[in-house]
Amino acid sequence: MLDPPCNAALCNAAVFLPPPACHPGFYKAYAGNIKCSKCPPHSFSYGEGSAACHCERGFYRADKDPPTMACTRPPSPPRNLMFNLNDTCLMLEWSPPSDSGGRRDLTYNVLCKRCGPEPNHCKLCEEDLRFLPRPLGLTNATVTVTDFSANANYTFEIESLNGVSDMSSFPRQVAIITVNTNQGGEYVLELPGL
């Protein structure tokens, strides 16, 4: 049996029907006759017809990240903090974090506090010491520190950062190392919590 002839207006309307709306868990970033895409990892869409997927709690998408990219999170702290000490400098080295947060734009900051005999009497000391190559935005997991004072306690906090670290409201996790200098210029190194 043959199909009945089609009314031209109905046939044209059937050809140009909009595609169905995307179901929850899917999205369509661009208008048009394209397929719905599954939400990238660590993201979701609630309703029908979503144009974007929202990041899960604790995950973020940087401003320059495309909507097709997975949501990511800040990295864990550096691991395996090590040191090499001589008369003039302290070289700090560490391993990358166990969790990069799902990103490749990893950098490190080294923060310094000089503390008096009372632990609560600390001041920042980045300006008093020299960091080679620099204390912030390091791309390698090492830094050399010079220009120590005798009879001083220095605490270094090393943090891992990535492109979404500034978006998180959680405190950053750091690896901590404390160096005590005494009158003879000798150094004692403490590794609290590691």
How does pLDDT run across 41-100, given as a tens digit for each residue?
A: 999 998 888 888 999 999 999 999 998 999 999 999 999 998 877 777 889 999 999 999
The reported pLDDT for the residue numbered 194 is 45
The residue ranking higher by pLDDT, 30 or 158, is: 158
| Interstrand relation of 54-55 and 43-44 (parallel, antiparallel or unpaired) | antiparallel
Q: Which of 81-90, 104-113, 165-174, 176-185 has the lowest mean pLDDT?
A: 176-185
How sure is the predictor about 18, in pLDDT bands with cuts at 50, 70 and 90? Answer: low
The helix/strand/coil state of 91 is strand
Over residues 101-113, the mean pLDDT reads 95
Taking domain 19-71, whether its CATH number is 2.30.29.30 is answered by: no
| pLDDT over threshold 90, residue 185 | no
Assess whether pLDDT exceeds 70 at residue 188. no
Q: Which CATH superfamily is domain 79-181 in?
A: Immunoglobulins (2.60.40.10)
Least trusted range by pLDDT, from 20-24, 86-90, 104-108? 86-90
CA distances from 5 to 8, 15, 81, 165 (A): 9, 15, 79, 63
Mean pLDDT estimate for the chain: 83
Asked whether the predicted pLDDT for residue 187 surpasses 60, the reply is no
Tell me what pLDDT residue 101 has: 96
Q: Are strands 37-38 and 187-190 parallel, antiparallel or unpaired?
A: unpaired
> 58 or 4: whose pLDDT is higher?
58
Helix or strand or coil: residue 41? coil
Residue 8 pLDDT > 60? no
Q: What pLDDT, on the 0 to 100 scale, is given for residue 99?
A: 96
pLDDT digits (tens, 9 = 90+) for 121-166: 888 987 889 999 999 999 999 999 998 877 778 889 999 999 999 9
Res 193 pLDDT > 50: no
Residue of 77, 192, 183, 91 lying closest to 142 (CA atoms):
91
Task: Write down the domain spans for the chain.
Answer: 19-71, 79-181
